[in-house]
């Protein structure tokens, strides 16, 4: 009797090998999916229907990655890009197609990863503006091909090359002008970007933030504290037209704009923005949704899911500066928010006071550790809203939520692939996924935001 043959894997192409590929689909995260003799390759910048030439950059046991070098035959869906912008990779897809793909990817993640069905999937809410919608941009400084100082974004797939910008189409004209003013000042001062290899050089990042409703503009220059020459901050203040100017000195190795020592150079320390009739004060490193108009839509959808009637105890986990809880909590009997970042909690308390929300209380604490104490202090929640980071919630946090036994859970997610396993854990504990509402916060990109609601069975 002959033993059955072991299943053979498709041959893996070599790293550096150049291939002609036909792209069949879009993976979560925006890369095109192609196959070479059955072996799956993810190609950044390719869309379904493209025939492309690409170089294999990484290969693993079950899949590989490839860098697009040439579009040999464009997809019938491919359109001309509006901007030379690495932060807008999906601009070659018609906007209606972008929305359809995002809707499909939410459904796919919940079915394939979470093994969930029987819920209502709403049509995706389209963005109000397809361009110039961001209220915050983080730029990086670098050295251009001719040796001069440039300010822009990392080139796709590169941690050291910075692509300069003339007009960032995701920012307003005023935000673009502020970036150009800082760059001109830095060149005039003879300042250099920090070299990512040697760590020599001063300039690291530039953060430009706007209050779309208030008209306020905040500029924050991030520099290395390892090479601290005296900066002429007076001339910087004269060079840049803004309402708030800050300097951050950091010794961090990673490219983070939030760590370091912050110095107010001129104007107000905090930026203000208005959202759904509320006014929010935002500390320099505090999180705030980067699309003001769509944040209003997102929180309105979350409010629909919460369906508060005026008597409920509402918990707001990962509450940040209070935007979610204060936006939907006007109809709650009481609001309790928890956030690990103390500066954000201080903002939340200030924002509750500014908006005369006397039913709101905010506390600093790690959600993983603070839930039991919060329940002991406040009582069990009737409705719980959670807006976690992209990585989703740890299993321990989900268990703490289940222990708290809210009647309804409203989950705001910026990553359906991490929402799905959290949703499966809640479903296993007796919470039925009732409704999911995708919202397009970031046109021209593969990022997806959605709101999901769960009701406790029985």
- List the catalytic residues: 414
Dihedral sign computed on CA atoms, order 332, 338, 344, 345: positive
- Separation between Cα atoms, residue 266 and residue 253, nearest integer Å: 27
Cβ contacts of 132 within 8 Å, gap of 6 or more: 169, 170, 171, 172, 173
Angle at 401 (CA atoms; ends 398, 405), nearest 5 degrees: 135
Q: Of 357, 355, 363, nearest to 336 (Cα)?
A: 363
Using CA atoms of 265, 197, 177, 214 in order, give the dihedral in degrees to the nearest 10: -60
Q: Of 16, 18, 11, 75, nearest to 45 (Cα)?
A: 75
Could you give the strand order of the β-sheet that contains 162-164, starting from the edge strand earlier in sequence?
162-164, 149-154, 136-143, 203-210, 217-224, 244-250, 261-267
- Return the residue matching tokens 């946090």: 397
Task: Give the other-Cβ count within 10 Å of 12's Cβ.
Answer: 18
- Return the residue matching tokens 């995706």: 124
Cα 211 off chain centre by: 18
- Return the residue matching tokens 């397009």: 440
Q: Residues, the chain, total?
A: 458
Helices 416-428, 395-404: axis angle to 10 degrees equals 50
Dihedral pair phi/psi, residue 80, rounded to 5°: -70, 135
């Amino acid at each position: 009797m002959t033993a059955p043959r072991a299943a053979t894997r498709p041959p893996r192409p070599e790293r550096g090998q150049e291939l002609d590929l036909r792209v069949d689909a879009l993976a979560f995260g925006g890369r095109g999916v192609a196959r070479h003799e059955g072996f799956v390759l993810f190609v950044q910048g390719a869309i379904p229907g493209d025939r492309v030439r690409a170089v294999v950059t990484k290969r693993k046991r079950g899949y590989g990655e490839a860098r697009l070098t040439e579009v040999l035959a464009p997809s019938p869906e491919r359109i001309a890009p509006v901007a030379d912008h690495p932060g807008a990779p999906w601009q070659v897809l018609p906007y209606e197609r972008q929305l359809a793909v995002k809707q499909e990817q939410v459904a796919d993640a919940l079915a394939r990863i979470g093994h969930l069905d029987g819920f209502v999937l709403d049509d995706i809410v389209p963005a109000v503006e397809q361009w110039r919608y961001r209220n915050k941009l983080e730029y990086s400084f670098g050295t251009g091909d001719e040796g001069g100082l440039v300010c822009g974004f990392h080139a796709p797939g590169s941690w050291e090359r910075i692509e300069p910008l003339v007009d960032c189409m995701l920012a307003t004209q005023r935000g673009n002008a502020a970036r150009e003013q800082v760059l001109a000042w830095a060149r005039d001062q003879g300042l250099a970007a920090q070299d990512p290899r040697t760590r020599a050089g001063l300039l690291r990042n530039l953060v430009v933030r706007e209050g779309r409703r208030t008209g306020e503009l905040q500029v924050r220059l991030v520099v290395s504290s390892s090479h601290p020459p005296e900066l002429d901050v007076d001339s910087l203040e004269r060079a840049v037209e803004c309402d708030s100017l800050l300097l951050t000195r950091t010794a961090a190795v990673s490219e983070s704009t939030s760590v370091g020592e912050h110095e107010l150079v001129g104007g107000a320390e905090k930026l203000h923005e208005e959202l759904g009739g509320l006014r929010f004060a935002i500390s320099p490193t505090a999180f705030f949704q980067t699309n003001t108009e769509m944040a209003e839509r997102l929180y309105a959808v979350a409010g629909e899911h919460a369906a508060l009637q005026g008597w409920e105890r509402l918990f707001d986990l990962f509450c940040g500066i209070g935007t979610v809880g204060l936006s939907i909590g006007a109809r709650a009997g009481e609001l309790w928010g928890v956030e690990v970042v103390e500066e954000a909690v201080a903002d939340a308390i200030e924002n509750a006071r500014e908006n005369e929300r006397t039913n709101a209380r905010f506390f600093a604490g790690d959600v993983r550790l603070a839930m039991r104490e919060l329940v002991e202090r406040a009582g069990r929640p009737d409705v719980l809203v959670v807006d976690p980071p992209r990585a989703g919630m740890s299993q321990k946090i989900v268990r703490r939520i289940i222990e708290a036994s809210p009647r309804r859970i409203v989950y705001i997610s910026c990553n359906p692939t991490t929402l799905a396993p959290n949703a499966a854990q809640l479903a296993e504990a007796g919470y039925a996924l009732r409704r999911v509402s995708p919202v397009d916060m970031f046109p021209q990109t593969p990022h997806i935001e959605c709101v999901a609601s769960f009701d406790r069975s029985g």
